[in-house]
Structure 1
Amino acid sequence: MIGRHRSDQGQAFPIYIAMVAGLLFLAFAFFAVGKASVTRNGAQGAADAAALAAAQQARDEIGPAFLGALLLPGGLNDFFGDHYISGEPCNQAQRFAANNRADVVGGCAWSSGFQRDEVTVRVKTRNTVGDTVIPGTETKHATATATAVIEFRCIWKPAEEPEGGTTPQPDEDEEVTPAPITFDCDGRNHFDIDPLDPDPWSELGKALFAVHLIDD
């Protein structure tokens, strides 16, 4: 009886070792998945920051063109029809990506529409997942994509015509002074902009154009 008991113990020991090894492998595998998730979340945070930075920079840059459009009859319609985004916003995106230990991959993709522009940024992390029990993770970078929009949030109307008829046409040599334009933004913010004496664009831009992330 004693010999049989010792024999059973000897057979159970390898099974015990195998179970412990399996549990350790699972623990290290879950650790690898956790590291990959952290790296992926870091990439998404960098992409979000980069896209927002590009959109905000673009909003800052369109100020002169927007205010210049107020000086021309029908200028706003022309502005929203053909305004463009320069390369500087993407440089700003790269700076914000770098602050989050990532790099912009392939530049910024712009999509323009009437009163709305979108910028999509793809980033790759500078750091890798690192060494784990899963082969290849030591060279695996995380990538993520984010899209931000610059959206005109207002409606506008030109100066009201005088009572009793249409606005008289000026003589060819007569200089026309642009009248203030009334903007109603989101149904809450109601204000006038004088094209000849506007408020600083840093304030007007935020009131006129919303910048936010959207789902890809």
Structure 2
Amino acid sequence: MRSRECRDAGQAFPIYITVVGGLLFLALAYFAVGQASVNRNGAQTAADSAALAAAQDTRDQLADKWIEDVPDPAEWQRIFEGDVAGLGPSCWRAEQFASRNDARVLSCTTEGLLGFTVEVETVKPVGNSIVPGTEDKRSRASATAEVESRCTFELPADDPGAEDLPELACGDERWILDPENPIDLPTADELFDVHLAD
């Protein structure tokens, strides 16, 4: 009777080892998937922030241009549409923000007049895991950000060169601008919205 109990215990031991080994393998597999997911999320965060940074740089330049041209409302619409000559490049801001998120910019391209698409790659690889070949793999992601005017106005139909500036409506705010004293002006984020494209 005792030998039978020993035999049963001896047969259960390999099953126990197999179950524990399987559970360990599953735990390591979940860990590997988690590693890759964290790396991928980091890449997407870097791409999002890089694209937004490039778009915000363009927004700030457009806002500065609008402030210069406040006395000339005939130029406002072109500025709000981004159709302005002489704007500086903005992709340097994408590179700056990507590096802050442990990534590097692979490409930064303009999308029309007011958009940027940025592709990044993580600096750190996924790392060692039970999945072979992941130690040198780096995650890539891309994002597109857009600048959009928040403002509308109407030029006087009878006298576009009138001395009074048109009322500027940006979202829920209204500005009555004085060409002789243009101090209380909307800020860049009141003039333009910057967002990730859907």
TM range (shorter): 0.7 to 0.9
Q: Which residue of 1 aligns with 2:173?
A: 189
SS at match of 2:55: helix
- Equivalenced residues, count: 197
| CA positional deviation for 1:200 | 8.2
Determine if contact 2:104/2:122 at 8 Å carries over to the other structure.
yes
Q: Note the alpha carbon deviations across 1:148-184, whole angstroms, 9 max, x for none.
A: 22110111123x47xxxx44x9xxxxxx775423211
Verify the 8 A CA contact 2:71 2:165 in the aligned structure 1.
no
- Aligned amino acid, residue 5 of structure 1: E
Letter in 1 for 2:187: L
Residue of 148, 152, 160 corresponding to 2:149: 152
Note the alpha carbon deviations across 1:121-152, whole angstroms, 9 max, x for none: 12111011111111122111112222222110
Cα 1:81–1:118 change in 2 (3 A) is: closer
Answer yes or no: is 1:99 the counterpart of 2:100: yes
Distance 2:111 2:179 in 1: 29
Q: Residue 111 of structure 2 corresponds to which residue in structure 1?
A: 110
Do the aligned partners of 2:63 and 2:191 also contact (CA within 8 Å) in 1? no
Q: For residue 135 of structure 2, what is the amino acid of its counterpart?
A: E
Of 107, 115, 119, the residue aligned with 2:116 is 119
Identify the residue that residue 207 of structure 1 maps to in structure 2.
190
More strand by share: 1
Determine the C-alpha separation between the residues in 1 that align with 2:151 and 2:52: 20
CA 1:76–1:190 in 2, change beyond 3 Å: closer, same or farther?
same
User: How far is the alpha carbon of 1:5 from its aligned partner?
Assistant: 2.5
Amino acid of the structure 2 residue aligned with 1:209:
F
Q: Which runs of 5+ in 1 are unaligned?
A: 170-175
Cα distance, 1:93–1:81 mapped onto 2, change above 3 Å: closer
Aligned to 2:22: 22
SS at match of 1:96: helix
**Identical aligned pairs, as a percentage?**
42
Partner of 1:34: 34
Distance 1:84-1:145 versus aligned 2 partners, 3 A rule: farther
Distance 2:88 2:16 in 1: 63
Bigger shift: residues 136-145 or 22-31: 136-145
- After TM superposition, the score normalised by the length of structure 1 is 0.78
Cross-structure match for 1:134: 131
**Larger displacement relative to structure 2 (5-14 or 42-51):** 5-14
Which structure 2 residue ranges, 5 or more long, are not aligned? none
Is the CA contact (8 Å cut-off) linking 2:104 and 2:123 kept in structure 1?
A: yes
SS at match of 1:39: helix
Match of 2:3 in 1: 3
- Checking the alignment, whether the CA contact within 8 Å between 1:67 and 1:195 is kept in structure 2 is no
Q: Given residue 105 of structure 1, which amino acid in structure 2 is its aligned partner?
A: L
Displacement, 1:198?
A: 3.7
Structure 2 distance, partners of 1:11, 1:39, is: 43
